[in-house]
Amino acid sequence: MRVAVIGAGIGGLTVAAGLGADGHEVVVYERRDEPGAVGAGLTLFGNAFGALDAIGLGDTVRRASSDAIARMRAGQRTPSGDWLVSMPSAMVPTLRSLHRAELHRALVDALPAGSLRLGQSAAVAAGGEPVVSVDGAEERFDLVIAADGLRSDARALLGLDRGVRYAGYTAWRGITGSGVDVHGEAGETWGRGRIFGIVPLPDERIYWFATESTAAGQHADDEREAMQERFGDWHSPILTCIDSTPTGAVLRHDIYDLARIPASFAKGRTVLLGDAAHGMTPNLGQGAGQAIEDAATLTLLLRNDEPDAALSRYDALRRRRTRAIWWQSRQMGRVAQASHPIGAGIRDALLRVTPPASMGRATQSIQRWTAPPS
């Protein structure tokens, strides 16, 4: 089968590598000339690795990642450093962290030779026919997979777009220039309308992220300095992480998710995958994981079903799974970003009395991915 994949992000590369390994002829269109990964770092949970293992990519990604975070004390803290809740390490034994750039590189290396076409913008057919238009020329395929991100052009052309929504907060991300001693502790610190997160990377540097509830579209002349001002009096080693990040290397972007999940992930022989289908807030850490699940599910279904039947099953399975996680992530964001003193106080009090095992079970329920029955 001849397959076009639009977008060389995590989801697009994963499905292209999986289908390529199964013998399909895959072409990946990426509009950027240098499709470097944006976002600094990320974590992948057990569901992502279960999906990657199912299509033969698990060990490839494990080699690019570290399981150090799974052995650390993690959970939520207050700005003073007091623990609100600490997650038992046994509840996240498969959690791993890595640079987005390293994941991107590993997936590109897993593609069939010559399948990645950089600097080419591809448009889908509005009716869902397996045709893409590139620089005015049409090319026909058996299947088109649109993995072109949150603001997907393909979703709009297919008539499946229901808009995007500003989540109410902006985010900063950075990676320290050298190793930072985090004292065996990771996770998130929750303040009033602000969050700071710490994630160890394989090379001993630290990936960190921060959020603030604020109006969209704001920027500072020096984003690192803005971080120092906002989080300078929070517990150690938060300021050290910020100070250790090279000047000019702090990324900032406003957080958006899909206003509503599309009524369908497929139209004709064209299918949505990843953020194009279910772009969600980062509060559950499942954006990349759900894109990987999409890729594995579609790859496995196409091993056993004809394309039309496979797309129908994919749509039913993935909309049900991702709608729930998209909604839970949105609700978690509202709780975590609470800025009113009363709301934040109630949030913290509830976390303090929540048994860690209960938190762990809730986390594990999200991390369960089951391969589609053959």
- How many domains does the chain fold into? 1
- Domain for residue 362, yes or no? no
- Domain for residue 350, yes or no? no
> Given a cut of 90, is residue 128 above it in pLDDT?
yes
> Given a cut of 70, is residue 3 above it in pLDDT?
yes
Residue 302 to residue 308: CA distance in whole angstroms: 9
Place 67 in a pLDDT band, splitting at 50, 70 and 90.
Answer: very high
Residue 149 to residue 295: CA distance in whole angstroms: 14
To the nearest whole percent, how much of the chain has pLDDT over 90?
Answer: 89
Residue 193 to residue 155: CA distance in whole angstroms: 32
In this prediction the pTM is: 0.95
pLDDT at site 365: 77
- Give me the CATH number covering residue 158: 3.50.50.60
- Domain for residue 358, yes or no? no
Residue 44 to residue 126: CA distance in whole angstroms: 34
- Domain for residue 45, yes or no? yes
HEC letters along 330-366: HHHHHHHCCCCHHHHHHHHHHHHHCCHHHHHHHHHHH
- Domain for residue 302, yes or no? yes
pLDDT at site 35: 66
Strand, helix or coil at 114? coil
Contact 296, 18 (CB under 8 A): yes
Residue 318 to residue 339: CA distance in whole angstroms: 34
* pLDDT tens track for 70-112: 889 999 999 999 999 987 665 667 899 999 999 999 999 999 9
Adjacent-strand bridge partners of 172:
210, 252
pLDDT at site 367: 86
- Domain for residue 243, yes or no? no
pLDDT at site 298: 98
Residue 145 to residue 143: CA distance in whole angstroms: 7
| For residues 248-255, average pLDDT | 95
Q: Give residues with Cβ within 8 angstroms of 149, minimum separation 6.
A: 7, 9, 274, 275, 276, 279
* pLDDT tens track for 290-335: 999 999 999 999 999 999 999 999 999 999 999 999 999 999 999 9
- Domain for residue 86, yes or no? no
To the nearest whole percent, how much of the chain has pLDDT over 70?
Answer: 97
Place 136 in a pLDDT band, splitting at 50, 70 and 90.
Answer: confident
pLDDT at site 374: 77
Q: For the chain, state the CA radius of gyration.
A: 21
Q: What is the mean pLDDT of the chain?
A: 94
pLDDT at site 88: 67
Contact 133, 122 (CB under 8 A): yes
Domain hosting residue 52, numbered range: 2-65+97-162+261-335
- Domain for residue 84, yes or no? no
